[in-house]
Structures are given as C-alpha cells and as structure tokens.
A and B are shown apart, each in its own frame.
Chain A
Amino acid sequence: MSDKIIQVDSLTGGYEDQIVLQNVTMDVIKGEVLVVVGRSGCGKSTILRYLIGLMKPISGRILFDGKDIWQSHETLTHARRRWGVLFQSGALLGNLTVLENVMLPMAEFTKLTRSEMTDVAMSKLEMVGMIHAVYEKPLEISGGMQKRAALARAMALDPEVLFFDEPSAGLDPVTSAELDRTILSVNRSLGTTLIIVTHELASIFAISDRVVMLDPDEKGIIATGEVKTLAEKSDDKRVLDFFGRKTGD
C-alpha cells in the first residue's frame, strides 16, 4: 500500500483569467509535517484551497488515498470526512460556544449521544489547552484561543490529515510558538499528517519535516526538501533569499 496520502498530479488552477498554479505535481507522505512556503502571491493559499476541495482544478487531479477527490460527489464527501482544516481566521461559528463548535462535526456526522459528544469535545479542547473557555463565544476569546478551539474542532472526528492556513497569522511570537508546539504534538502523538501553509520562518524551522516552496513567477514548485538543507545548501538564489533572513546570510 502506498505511503502517499495525497498526490497532486499536474494541477493547473487560478482565479477567473489569472493562472496562479501551472502544472504542479507533488506528494504528501502519511504522517509527515509538510510546510508549503513562498513569497506573497505565490499561490500557497490557492493550492490549499485546491487540496481541501474548495476549488476545482482547471486541469490535473488531486488524489486522496489514491482516489481523485473530484471523481464524484461521494469521493469528495468521503475525503472531506477524513480531513480537518484550520483556517486563517479560525472560522468558528460565531453563534455557537467553543464547545458547541467542537461538537458540530460530531452532531452532523455521527450518532453519538450529547454526553458522548461532550466527552470527546472536552478531550480535544483539553489537548489544545482550551478547557477553561469552553462556554465562551468565539468573539469573546483572543485570536490565539480561537485558533486553538478551531484546531480542536478540526480534530473532532480524528482526521487522518490536518490542513492549516497561516496558523501564525495575527499572533504574537509567544502565542505563535505555543500554537506550533500544540500542532506538532498532534502530529507526534496521533500520527496525523499535517499540511501547513505559512511564511513564518520561525514556524517553518520549528515544525516542518519537509518543505515545498512555490514561486509566483514559476507558478509552481521551485524547491522541495528538508528546511535546513534548502536554507544552507540550495543553489537557487530565490530559495536562499527566502531563508536568508533566518540564516543571516
């Protein structure tokens, strides 16, 4: 059985008449922490929207566990039940409490009783350090707490893959580092595959197993590999320039 959980096969996509990604091919290995990096406008968030099935490719395929997610409504629905997504804003439903937000996927897709759902939701919230604010509404808690709660919701159905869109955006360095540790603990303790889109160098160095670098001019991938190797040994000036701020070259 293949160890590739997601395969991107010759993906071309973009917005209206603007192509952002051209013929992109990449794989995601089960259990790894893959970080997608690149300059602003390189298509990081766009590729994430394709990976999570919010946009249909102009051409090419996204395979989840060997099946094209756009093959049918069922394949897309089936794939969606096996992944979780943490959006940049957290995207918690504002009219529900933190606990209700985490219970939401279970209420929709499982036959658990309310008390069982509460137990599961509480355990997820405890895992992300949010047990003290379960009855708060999203707008009553800080941005960092919202992201933790959203992470708990994304983990509610024990997904095989978790996607993160700029998890550090809008957070101070300390909160960002705490969130990085929480994210990493999910991977290490549960073996969940993580795909993270970010340009925060500190996060990239702290949590990535492998990095995929996109470039706006190439409209695709210009480098892939372990972050330290890319930062120190790449012979591509664009890669060195990107990581230069961290390595001080």
Chain B
Amino acid sequence: MDGRIDVSGRNLTLFGKFTVKDLSKVTKALEQIPPGEAVIDFQHCTTMDSGIAARFWSFYENRKMKGKRVSLRNTSPDLTAIFDRFEEIDKIPPPFGSRKTLKYHFADIGDKVAESWYTVSGLCTFTSRAFRSLFTGKFRGSMTAYYMEQSGVMAVPIVVTLNWLMGVVLGYQAGYQMSQFGAELFMPALLAYSICWEIGPMMTAVLVAGRSGSAFAAEIGTMKVRQEIDALEVMGFNLYGYVVTPKMIALFVVMPLLVTLANFAGMAGGLAAGGVFLGMPPEVYIAEARKALIPFDLYWGIIKSVFYSAIIAITGSYMGMRVRGGPAAVGKATTSAVVVSIFLVILVDALLSLVFVHLRPGLTL
C-alpha cells in the first residue's frame, strides 16, 4: 500500500509504505503543521526508508532548536534504530574546516601563505638542481631533438600567424592614429621597434608557455601518476638530467629561432597593414623600419628568449613533478604551469627591460 498522510492540526499520522519517492508528499505534509509543538504517529506506517526518516528527523531537530517539542510516537524497532543512529550522528562534532569561524579564516590564510612559500622555495631549489644537471648531466640527443620538434617546429605556424596578425593590427592602429597628424611615415619605426623589443618575444613566450609549458607539466605529471618517475628514481637515474634537461636545451635552441621568426612575421604584418590601409609602398616601409632598427634590437629579443626558455621549461617541469594523487592533479598542474610561466615571463621581461634598456646605443630616457 502506498503511503498516505493525514494532517490534523498539530497531529500527523502516517499510513502504509514510504520511500524516498514520497519525499515531496512528506515535505508538504510537514509544512502544513503549524509552528510549535507537534505529534507524529508512525503506528500505521509499515515501511519507511532512511531518506524519509531523515526528513522527519530534520523536522524534529528544527523544532527542537526553536524550543518546541515534537513527539515521535509508535515508532517500529527499525525506525527507532534509525532515529537513534541520527541522534548519535548529530553528536559528532563537525570537522574544523566546516565551521567558518574567524580562527578558521586565519588558519586558511596561514595555510595559503605557507603553500605559496613552499611553491616559491621549491621552484628555486628545482631551478638550481635543473641548472646543475644541465652542466653536469648526460646529453640526451634524441630526447632533445624530440622536444625541439614538438616545441619548435610544431609551433612555427601558430607563432608566425599570430605575430603576423599582431603586426597587421598594430600597424593599422598605429598608422591610423599617426595619420591624424600626418606622421604615418613613422609607423614602420614604431612597429619595428615595439615588435622586436616586446611584442615578438612576449607573444612567442606566451604561446610556447601555453603549448609546451603545459605539455611538459602534463607529461611529467602523468609519469608521476603512473609511477614512472619513481621507477626512474629507483633505477638510479638522475631525474633532472633525464626529465628536465632535454626540455631546457630544446627550448634554449628553438626559442631564439621562434622569436626571430615572430619578429619578422610581425614586421611583415605591419608592412601589409601599411600597404593596404595607408597606401605605403613596401620599399618605403622597409627603408623606414631599417632606419629605426639597429642589430641590438634583434639581439635583444634573442637574449630575452633565453630567459623565457628557462622559465617555461623549469616551471612546466616543476609543476609536473609536484603532482600528487590521480589524473585530476595533472589538470591542475598544467593550468598552474601556464599561469605561473606567463606571470614569471612578464615579471622577468619588466625587470630586464628596466635594467637593459640603457644598454641600447643611442637611447636616452
């Protein structure tokens, strides 16, 4: 027999069988009981599952907290046992973290600060070990070539395309604004200078961090999850030499090449924008750009790319090495690798620009 509920004033009587399917019916019936004391009679209730019992128990507890008594009458031995269990469960104190007290929030802030400190100090230690193995470890040619292909050759289309588009957009924007006061002839100089100093190296670093930094973290993280890193360690391998160094060397080689390509692609984009939107002949654009640039401007991007290579390879590898637990941790590691790499690239770029801008011949601030 399906469950039936009679509500009469403060009295609620149950008849028949109740399962979790009857939850809405039970909830409506409980809502009909006016605030204050109540009597629930289970005498004619043949069966009740723990879901429905839990709903009656929360009703009982809510009224009890408001100082109102709810009488649960004629409960069967099974139901009594369920309610006794709920009562026991209610006595268990909640875990520390579930109560958002002031103490909890301070502890949480402390935990986050400590965690950040461990990340930074761990990254520093990891960097020093990675560089030590770079100079003391065995050179692994085939692995290095593999990463050069993955991080360099495979990245050429995206690096060239995006930097060309950046050149087009910047060329058009700069040219349009400068043409307002008849200075569009200076657009090639502005574009060439800004691309070689900032846009080319930075865009390339962001793209490589997104492609290769995340791939390094995912690869190493998966190796951690599958115990391959443990296996290499107990076999006596130099982990840094085997796992990190080939990635570093590969980026040291390919990043300067990618940055050079990016610079030329960006300037080519500016040339296209100049031709299409400003009617500037290519030979004029090239001549103006050459007048503005000196070899140092091209070398500068290459110098910065070496720093970026180290940042991307080391951060990606470090985040992969920190993976603990299952596959979900690998996803988090890849996200962290990209975010931290890009943050560090921008930070280092700012520092390098401040320090080394004075090295450019003929430039005074």
Contacts and interface: CB of A to CB of B under 8 A. Distances in A.
A94 interface: yes
Interface in A62-110: 77, 80-81, 83-85, 87-89, 91-94, 104-105, 108-109
B233 A89 contact: no
Nearest to B219: A95
Interface string A36-55: 00000000000000001110
A54 B235 contact: no
Contacts of A85: 230-231, 234-235
B49 interface: no
B235 A104 contact: yes
Contacts of B223: 93-94
B236 A81 contact: yes
What bracket does the count of chain B residues touching chain A fall in? 10 to 19
B114 to A, nearest CB: 12
B290 interface: no
Contacts of B226: 89, 91, 94
A89 B227 contact: yes
A91 B230 CA distance: 8
A94 B228 contact: yes
Contact of B234 (A80, A89, A93, A104): A80
B159 to A, nearest CB: 25
B235 A105 contact: yes
Given A87-B227, A93-B228, A94-B226, A54 B233 contact: yes
B237 interface: yes
B86 to A, nearest CB: 28
Contacts of B234: 52-54, 80, 83, 85
Interface string B228-251: 101111111100000000000000
B228 A91 contact: yes
A87 B236 contact: no
B233 A109 contact: no
Contact of A80 (B222, B227, B228, B235): B235
Q: Which of B226, B232, B235 has the most CB of A within 10 A?
A: B235
Contacts of A80: 234-236
A94 B223 CA distance: 8
A84 B231 CA distance: 9
A105 B242 CA distance: 12
Contacts of B228: 91-94
A45 B173 CA distance: 63
Contacts of A92: 228, 231
Interface in A94-131: 94, 104-105, 108-109
Nearest to A78: B236
A84 B236 CA distance: 10
Contacts of B230: 54, 85, 87, 91
B326 to A, nearest CB: 12
Q: Which of A91, A93, A104 has the most CB of B within 10 A?
A: A91
A143 to B, nearest CB: 12
Contacts of A89: 226-227
A77 B231 contact: no
A59 to B, nearest CB: 22
A85 B236 CA distance: 11
B333 to A, nearest CB: 17
A45 to B, nearest CB: 11
A29 B253 CA distance: 52
B352 to A, nearest CB: 35
A192 B296 CA distance: 64
B231 A91 contact: yes
Q: Which of B228, B230, B231 has the most CB of A within 10 A?
A: B231
Given A91-B227, A94-B223, A94-B228, 19 more contacts: A54-B233, A80-B236, A84-B235, A85-B230, A85-B231, A85-B234, A87-B227, A91-B228, A92-B228, A92-B231, A93-B228, A93-B231, A104-B235, A105-B235, A105-B236, A108-B236, A108-B237, A109-B236, A150-B231
6 contacts: A77-B236, A85-B230, A85-B234, A85-B235, A87-B227, A150-B231
Interface of A: 52-54, 77, 80-81, 83-85, 87-89, 91-94, 104-105, 108-109, 150
**Sorted from nearest, which 4 A-B pairs have the closest CB atoms?**
A91-B231, A91-B227, A80-B236, A87-B227
